[in-house]
């Protein structure tokens, strides 16, 4: 049996189920209790689970991550929310120098989840719309997930909570109420480290995650009318990467387009391009193409933000170039 949920509802349901399943799971963050969270993901949680398990914190991201790390070290399973992903910079030292390295230094697991509402399309400007996954992609000791659908959003939040390692959970704010999908009613997880082929094709491989998957699906449907069949790989997990699925697809199609909403330079797409060039160069029939946001801060004005961000039209243009190469 399945039911239709929004992306936001799927995250909320996953959190609620894990809190019922495991009493060591608790939430902490700014305004997540009485207010129900800035986006209402935790609405009603404090009434259901109490103030000891849904903790409203001070406005101090370093303290939130530090407290969560300490709790994880002694056996709890905290889920810490950054009200906006942008604000994780205030807790960067705790996360990168302490949380990520603790198991390596002390052989003690750190089962911590940091929820990071990220991304543009909401006209939030340069301090509320970034995609900071590239900063953490370079950090050994962290796992990074970025779901694109309600099914994967619920399955990955549950998997992240059960994982013995620190997991950064990138949830896209634009997708919260814009995307609906079928979600199983039974208990399930989406395995961390496993990509999903959202659409099968033989001509071009598109590698994407989060919002990029939806731009790719729209563009692929359009270009299929011209006889070009696009395969779309939804990474779902950014770290560790599912290299096998990526390379198998490239070997089949010979052409690659990589999409991410984060800015272009130094993004995850660059590492994907290097991976493919190193391990699948012999299969390539065209240069690897990347689509990403412009290398500027996220603009506030809606027209400028639209110009700044990737979209289905830009993806379609790149697909046509690759198809004709």
pLDDT digits (tens, 9 = 90+) for 80-92: 999 999 999 999 9
Quick one: pLDDT at residue 185?
93
Mean pLDDT, residues 55-63 = 97
pLDDT confidence tier of residue 151, bands split at 50, 70 and 90: very high
Q: What is the pTM of this model?
A: 0.97
Q: Are residues 301 and 252 in the same domain?
A: yes
Let me know if residue 190 belongs to a domain: no
Let me know if residue 189 belongs to a domain: no
Q: Are residues 89 and 177 in the same domain?
A: yes
Among the listed residues 123, 128, 172, 279, the single catalytic one is: 128
Residue 128 is among the residues annotated as catalytic for this protein: yes
Quick one: pLDDT at residue 1?
86
Q: Are residues 204 and 225 in the same domain?
A: yes
- Kindly report the CATH number assigned to the domain that includes residue 42: 3.40.50.970
Q: Are residues 50 and 127 in the same domain?
A: yes
* Tokens encoding 91: 């807790």
- Kindly report the CATH number assigned to the domain that includes residue 204: 3.40.50.920
Q: Indicate the number of domains in the chain.
A: 2
Domain containing 88: what range? 2-184
The secondary structure of residue 239, as a DSSP letter, is E
Q: Are residues 157 and 270 in the same domain?
A: no
Nearest to 291 by CA among 219, 237, 200, 193: 219
**Could you give the CA distance from residue 182 to residue 163 in angstroms, rounded to a whole number?**
24
Q: Are residues 147 and 228 in the same domain?
A: no
Q: Output the furthest CA–CA distance in the chain (Å, rounded).
A: 60
* Tokens encoding 225: 């009318």
Q: Are residues 148 and 206 in the same domain?
A: no
Let me know if residue 101 belongs to a domain: yes
Let me know if residue 45 belongs to a domain: yes
pLDDT in tens, 244-264: 999 999 999 999 999 999 999
């Amino acid at each position: 049996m399945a039911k239709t949920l929004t992306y936001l509802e799927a995250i909320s349901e996953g959190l609620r189920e894990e809190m019922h399943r495991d009493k060591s799971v608790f939430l902490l963050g700014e305004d997540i209790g009485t207010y129900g969270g800035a986006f209402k993901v935790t609405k009603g949680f404090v009434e259901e689970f109490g103030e000891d398990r849904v903790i409203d914190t001070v406005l101090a991201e370093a303290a939130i991550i530090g407290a969560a790390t300490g709790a994880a070290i002694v056996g709890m399973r905290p889920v810490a929310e950054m009200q906006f992903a942008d604000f994780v910079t205030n807790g960067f030292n705790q996360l990168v120098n302490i949380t990520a390295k603790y198991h390596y230094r002390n052989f003690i697991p750190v089962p911590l989840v940091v929820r990071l509402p990220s991304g543009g399309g909401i006209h939030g400007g340069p301090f509320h719309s970034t995609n900071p996954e590239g900063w953490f992609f370079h950090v050994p000791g962290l796992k990074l997930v970025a779901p694109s659908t309600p099914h994967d959003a619920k399955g990955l939040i549950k998997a992240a909570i059960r994982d013995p390692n620190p997991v950064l959970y990138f949830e896209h704010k634009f997708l919260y109420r814009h995307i609906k999908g079928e979600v199983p009613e039974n208990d399930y997880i989406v395995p961390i480290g496993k990509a999903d082929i959202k659409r099968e094709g033989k001509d071009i491989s598109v590698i994407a995650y989060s919002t990029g998957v939806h731009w790719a699906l729209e563009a692929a449907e359009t270009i299929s009318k011209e006889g070009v069949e696009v395969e779309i790989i939804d990474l779902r997990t950014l770290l560790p990467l599912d290299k096998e699925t990526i390379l198998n697809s490239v070997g089949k199609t010979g052409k690659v387009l990589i999409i991410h909403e984060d800015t272009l330079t130094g993004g995850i797409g660059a590492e994907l391009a290097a991976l493919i060039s190193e391990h699948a160069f012999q299969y390539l029939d065209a240069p690897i193409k990347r689509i990403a946001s412009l290398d500027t801060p996220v603009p506030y004005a809606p027209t400028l933000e639209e110009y700044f961000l990737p979209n289905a039209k830009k993806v379609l243009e790149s697909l046509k170039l690759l198809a004709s190469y």
